[in-house]
A and B are shown apart, each in its own frame.
Chain A
């Protein structure tokens, strides 16, 4: 299973939640599979999906899923400590761990060598850290959303590999405003 297969598998869960999606191929693939106004596609700031989702979960009550990658989490590991100490129960971090920098040509990341993001997350203070296969991700995500008392970090181990895909055609302000309209903040759209 690669990232595109996994996103296909979890699309029905994602469409009912607020989703912050990582820059590059993850966002492009999600857009192609099933574009929704409640999907915030990152067009820059690699590494910050987990942080953006955390700020959003702290600011309103709907469930938030941050879709991140192993390369991106390696770039911003300090935020696991913030999540470990501050994440509210409406927050789930889904790390799609394919051991490679998919958007830049599938170079190997350190999770393909010695680094375990599960151990890093636990060491950073995160509770409910689940490492699972791609097939087990649907159940893990459902459990995280149903649990109204705890936040979760799910590390979904899959194969590397991408599908051929175009850049996202929506401009950033449209992404921003339709997302905030879904939450109920923007009224003019």
Chain B
């Protein structure tokens, strides 16, 4: 719970006040925290691509949105990221559980893991890769950066960082 709490605290410190999630077991604690947080909006959504749309609308309505998802969700959302969030220069934070990184027990997750950073690089999305607890301290500044550059940004949280956060 300590890691998850630190991530949410830093996102809130960065101004993020609107949260969506497509679940991952590594995100479960963050979802539990947000479900009980009266200061911010939180909802689950069935699919990441529609989440990009809801985040775009939330930005138009003066919220600072974040969508939490597995890295697989990036694959589901490429067109929405490029032809909506980037076309209209909308700041959105992607909080990504980086499945398929070392420690991952499910071999099939390795495929998307191998290309996740390449996809984000191709999309020119700024990345913050969190491997240690200390890295999490950069999240609030990095979130604010999304607003300054009017762009989606991606925070990648390694499997081994999240797995013991019970």
- Interface residues, chain A, with chain B CB atoms under 8 Å away: 20, 40, 42-45, 47-60, 64, 76, 78-79, 81-82, 86, 172-173, 175-176, 179-180, 183, 185
Contact = CB atoms under 8 A, between A and B. Distances in A.
B89 interface: yes
Interface residues of B, number: 31
B89 A51 contact: no
Contact of B49 (A48, A49, A81): A48
23 contacts: A44-B83, A45-B56, A49-B53, A51-B50, A51-B54, A55-B18, A55-B54, A55-B61, A56-B60, A58-B18, A58-B41, A58-B54, A58-B57, A59-B18, A59-B60, A76-B53, A78-B46, A78-B50, A79-B47, A82-B46, A86-B43, A180-B62, A185-B62
A78 B51 CA distance: 11
A82 B43 contact: yes
Contacts of A49: 53
B57 A56 contact: yes
Interface string B60-86: 111101000000000000011011100
A179 B60 contact: yes
A45 B92 CA distance: 16
Nearest to A185: B62
Given A55-B58, A82-B46, A185-B62, A44 B87 contact: yes
Contacts of B90: 176
Given A58-B41, A76-B49, A173-B89, A20 B84 contact: no
* Secondary structure of the A contact surface, majority rule: helix
Interface of B: 18, 41, 43, 45-47, 49-63, 65, 79-80, 82-84, 87-90
Contacts of A78: 45-47, 50
Contact of B62 (A20, A42, A50, A60): A60
Contact of A43 (B45, B52, B83): B83
Contacts of A56: 57-58, 60-61
Contacts of B79: 44-45
The 7 A-B pairs with the shortest beta carbon distances in the complex, nearest first, are: A44-B83, A55-B57, A59-B61, A51-B53, A48-B53, A56-B57, A55-B54
A58 B80 contact: no
Contacts of B62: 59-60, 180, 183, 185
Given A48-B53, A79-B50, A79-B53, A55 B65 contact: yes
Given A48-B56, A55-B65, A56-B61, A172 B88 contact: yes
A41 B82 CA distance: 16
Report which residue of B82, B83, B90 has the largest number of chain A beta carbons within 10 angstroms of its beta carbon.
B83
B86 to A, nearest CB: 9
Given A44-B82, A45-B79, A55 B56 contact: yes
